Amino acid sequence: MSDSFGIPLLGDDFPSMKVVTTHGEIELPKNYAGKWFVLFSHPADFTPVCTTEFVAFQKRYDEFKALNTELIGLSVDQVFSHIKWEEWIKEKLSVEIAFPIIADTGAVANKLGLIHPGKGTNTVRAVFVVDDKAKIRIILYYPQELGRNIDEIVRAVKAMQISDKHGVAMPAGWPNNELIKDKVIIPPAQDVKTAQERLEKASNGEFECYDWWLCYKKV
């Protein structure tokens, strides 16, 4: 990793660590070898916005699992606080949280750059999307006042997996892009020969192009 204390960079290896969770001790990223995982931090248990987020994550847990992706929550709260909060959510909201929540002493938050200096000791709303090779692929940060859009996180994981599998780029709003709908973008040509071939292939119906540098196809 580029810096052991601070925000890691995209493409960095997720740092190895042992964490205490509501499902017992977990070693990251080792315990999720061969899987993607989404680690997301929240400011504190028993808070309104965080509660709505955890319900939303849980309601989409099956969608994440279908993408070979696990969820892991985190805050600087003790494990018994997490357990009581989970019990409250189950009792009051009829939602059972099935994924682990890290009870952080501050070590994980400091290593991942999750403590905002102007917000006391609470963790920010961060999201780390880590791939099946333990590489950090996406980092999202939100202020405490704004709850996350969990559908966007599902979309981002799905889009990155398709990008990796097919060697393509994903347009804005995929799969509902205003120009090319659910199609994907072919990386721009890097030389004159390839640029000319692009237009020829487009004329043969292999894919579609607005121009040689903006070609797209269905996957």
CB distance 187 to 170 below 8 Å = no
Known catalytic residue at 209: no
What are the residue ranges spanned by the domains of the chain? 17-148, 167-219
CATH ID of 167-219, from 3.90.25.10, 3.40.1260.10, 1.20.120.1200, 3.30.1020.10: 3.30.1020.10
**Mean pLDDT of all residues in the chain?**
91
What is the predicted pLDDT for the residue at 118?
61
Residue range 150-192, pLDDT digits in tens? 999 999 999 999 999 999 999 999 999 999 999 999 988 889 9
CATH 3.40.50.720 at 17-148, yes or no: no
pLDDT of residue 52 exceeding 80, the answer is yes
pLDDT above 70 covers a percentage of the chain that reads 94
Q: Of the candidates 49, 46, 101, which has an alpha carbon nearest to the alpha carbon of residue 74?
A: 101
Catalytic entry in 19, 38, 50, 134: 50
Which tokens is 134 given? Answer: 């333990």
Residue range 191-213, pLDDT digits in tens? 998 888 888 888 888 889 998 89
Start-to-end Cα distance in the chain: 34
Same topology, domains 17-148 and 167-219? Answer is no
Sequence-separated (6 or more) residues with CB below 8 Å from residue 116 = 122, 124
The Cβ-side half-sphere exposure at 29, using a 13 Å CA radius, reads 22
